[in-house]
Structure 1
Amino acid sequence: MLINADFSRRAIVAHEHYQWVASPQGGVERVMLDRIGQEQARATSIVRYAPESYFPAHHHPGGEEVLVLSGVFSEGQTHYPEGWYLRSPPGSSHQPASAEGAVIFVKLCQMPPHERSRVRINTRDPAAWRNENGREICPLFSAGYEQVCLQRLPARALLLAQPVNGAEVLVLEGEVAVRGQSYGRGSWLRLPPGETTDVAGAPQGATVYLKTGHLGYANP
């Protein structure tokens, strides 16, 4: 299965164009944003858990990255409400579930085999944020091959002032504008190297998830 599989091209999925697809596990469905492969795929998705739904315990040989967008996402007896960022390295395992229901942003099989970081950050904690050059940023992960953060983007401010080695954006609040088109909460954008300097906050600004650098190392 190939969905937005050409990483040299810009890919955008606006929230109003979500197409929910049932997963093999009852009560769990997903929007496939990009994907290369079948069930054990290199994939980026929005995943929705109905109340009392779960996946059986399983491993992630290529690692997993999760941002909880709403509800409460659980791993065993540990519960992560909206705003938590989870990064589990290659070879990790878990049994995901949600008692009350949840929506999460998920990236699978996109970490190098040598990564060993296990990250758990509550982005709703004010202490997780800092001011950098007049902009509020919540750092989530940084390595030579990628950087991940949340940003509060002021109105009409450029997200990136100079080109980077590819960027991926998920709008969490407000809107961003790209070439005159606005994209609201839930919209996902993947911008290849060289096409990353025309994303700006719309008049009300935006809060976004931002990953940079990784597309230059992507080898789908």
Structure 2
Amino acid sequence: MFTGIIQAMGTIGARERRGDDVRLEVAAADLGLADVAVGDSIAVNGVCLTAVRIDDGGFGADVSVETLDRTSLGQLDIGSAVNLEKALTPSTPLGGHLVSGHVDGLGTVEERYQDGRSWRFRFRAPDRLARYIAEKGSICIDGVSLTVNGVDGACFDVNIVPHTMDVTRFGGYRPGQSVNLEVDVIARYLERLMLGDEAATPGAGGITREFLARNGFRAD
């Protein structure tokens, strides 16, 4: 688990194709790896990866086909900047929100403009994730814990203060860029719990009007 508070930025130092998977080497001298052991988790752009090699300058991690398909890690070039966070401990201040490091899908930067001293960003989420994104709720973008300021269909806005622009990848975001999205874990599990016994039915979808009608919900 993580908090969504970025501890350092690193860069992709190397990437090696190993069959269908990829070994990433991440330069992370500023992260402070003295307390990290092989087998520990590190979030890279919001993706929970297992460190398989560590030295003072960085770490290596394997990225599976599933992760390459669902996240933006496969799009990163050597030299690309990445947001980094070590796994939380019982004494870690929970400055953001509980983040699992399990990316739900890819979003797209739609717009960015200055708003006072801050920046306002608009993102488009996949349609299937829109129902989990609520105004003043929490969302994780490339590993950064943020508050949703507004929602319009599958699009949502966040406000980025100057500090966050300086210490994360947000400063380099441009329209059309892909980002990793993780919705609030409570919203994700709540929907599954509401399905009850139907969750065990093959092909069971999410909460639909038909599902609500079968379970006694009346729109009037």
Same fold? TM cut 0.5: no
* Bigger proportion of residues as helix: 2
Higher-Rg structure is: 2
* Bigger proportion of residues as strand: 1
